[in-house]
Structure 1
């Protein structure tokens, strides 16, 4: 279960009050949690608004509007905040995950995060929560607008958000690779001018689009590039589902069904998207995936010998 689904499940069970503490909070995540949290549950939200982080997109000022519109909710700000702590009644969940799509597994490639549960009264966690609530500043529209002005100035000055890219944007869970030649991706990345001459234009552009979508930074070695690409692919929810089904043999018909059920707009026919994805899996994980001689069934399992 994605960490986000765990939080939603906890939100549904709350009956009295809740507290959401995270330095990075995206509006779409708060909206999703509020939709599951019963309307009569009081909720405190604690976060921080640092202009550079807001400009990078890791936190949304629109969270203020969502919290303000909910009865019994308030938004507090603490510039020193780094803790991630979520309480629903007497149950705490704490760990590394911010309230962002990538951290909670709702966008791919997702971050590698942890949230552990602490049931029942916990003196230390309760003390931390109370300290934060008593020392943090209530957010208001005027301060929000001041932060927005500072963000606009940063953007106009050419601010580079890439150092914070691990928390922002991300692919929809239904994203699929589009380049039919995964073995060419390194060449496109490392030497695009010369590689373009040796590739079909559509495949070249698809490779560039895939590299851009996966937010591969510049200057990587070939080994680093391989690890970034395989790591992103391995975290996709659809790939994890394919892995489970491929343990007993995944035929093309069933694979197409899985891709179709994932939703999202595909640039090619579903069977073509499966052929491309299967090629990526075999290229990036040659010791885990193999296509049977018929070319119709993908199997998962370490190759021996």
Structure 2
């Protein structure tokens, strides 16, 4: 790596060069070329390299992170990659010495790209109480990254790039934009596609991939946590939000509201309304009263 103000990269490289036994690399955004450079700077005496990051389709689509770092595990058996979904901290540890601050593992953060970011890393010991809190939190919550997860995230990211282009916004912890609405009519297949295990038709799979890309559900969740995350995001759709507040809504009400809000024709709006109803039945225990076509909470009585 070269160009720019390499002060941050020099700090990290000096720290890593001094490692004897273990290295920990913790950053939300990690680019493949920077990760390779850090691994190359790690002494052969180091026995363990622990990386913690996060992956989302929007962030990968925006180009700030590369899930392909997982493939470097094949090349370096010392390496372990885990995902912490709400990670924002940046920390580099070499045995008991460390650097903490603002710098992700990207060329702009490390000062090796034109127009680098203004970043800060300060020396800190691994025994600092806040560092220990962070490490303990990661141990409790992080999940192992896998190649299947990386493939799924990249696929979702490509779909976002194709559909959103330069309008991609890296999300925070908020729900997806209000304009999102479910695509697939088979919500029962969504978790299997999320796991990369779905034996579904191309049309069903494509619909699930689209929904996963816009939902932004983090990888590595079990089915119960996945369903909770989807249910929360469903609740952000204005029509669903009203329903959850106790408002009475029929399929026609949802259809008209969505048509007006998003500008859809009647047939497409009807399909969206029916799809939302299917998702609510699957994820949130609503059923359709066939006498009134009204969505109601609870189980349908046969």
- Structure 2 counterpart SS, 1:4: helix
Answer whether contact 1:25 1:98 (CA < 8 A) is retained. Answer: yes
How many residues align? The count is 164
Answer whether contact 1:86 1:94 (CA < 8 A) is retained. Answer: yes
Please report the TM-score for the alignment, with normalisation by the length of structure 2: 0.52
Q: Does 1:10 align with 2:15?
A: yes
Q: Does 1:62 align with 2:68?
A: yes
Q: Does 1:110 align with 2:116?
A: yes
- Structure 2 counterpart SS, 1:117: strand
- Structure 2 counterpart SS, 1:108: coil
In structure 1, distance between residues paired with 2:64 and 2:126: 31
Among 78, 83, 89, the alignment partner of 1:77 is 83
Answer whether contact 1:93 1:115 (CA < 8 A) is retained. Answer: yes
Moved over 3 A (4+): 161-164
- Structure 2 counterpart SS, 1:15: coil
Alignment of 1:230-249 (within 5 A): none
- Quote the residue 1:94 is aligned against: 100
Cα distance, 1:130–1:69 mapped onto 2, change above 3 Å: farther
In structure 1, distance between residues paired with 2:13 and 2:102: 17
CA deviation after TM superposition for structure 1 residue 100, in Å: 0.4
In structure 2, distance between residues paired with 1:155 and 1:35: 31
In structure 1, distance between residues paired with 2:143 and 2:167: 26
Cα distance, 1:47–1:120 mapped onto 2, change above 3 Å: closer
Please report the TM-score for the alignment, with normalisation by the length of structure 1: 0.51
Segments of structure 2 that go 5 or more residues without pairing to the other structure are 1-5, 171-302
Segments of structure 1 that go 5 or more residues without pairing to the other structure are 165-305
CA deviation after TM superposition for structure 1 residue 127, in Å: 2.5
Alignment of 1:14-29 (within 5 A): 14-29=19-34
Cα distance, 1:79–1:68 mapped onto 2, change above 3 Å: farther
